[in-house]
Amino acid sequence: MREDFIFKFILSLFNEQTRVTAKQLSLIAGGKRTPSVLFNVEKNKLYTLFGLFPDLSLKEWESLTNTLLENELVDLNEGSLCQTAKGAKVKKILRMLFQ
User: pLDDT tens digits for the chain (99 residues)?
Assistant: 566 788 888 999 999 899 999 999 999 999 999 999 999 999 999 999 999 999 999 999 999 999 999 999 999 999 999 999 999 999 999 888 877
Q: What is the distance between the terminal CA atoms of the chain, rounded to a whole angstrom? A: 20
What number of other Cβ atoms are within 10 A of residue 87's Cβ? Answer: 20
What number of other Cβ atoms are within 10 A of residue 34's Cβ? Answer: 9
pTM for the full model? 0.89
Query: What is the C-alpha separation between 95 and 38, in angstroms, rounded?
Result: 27
CA 74, 62, 52, 27 dihedral sign is negative
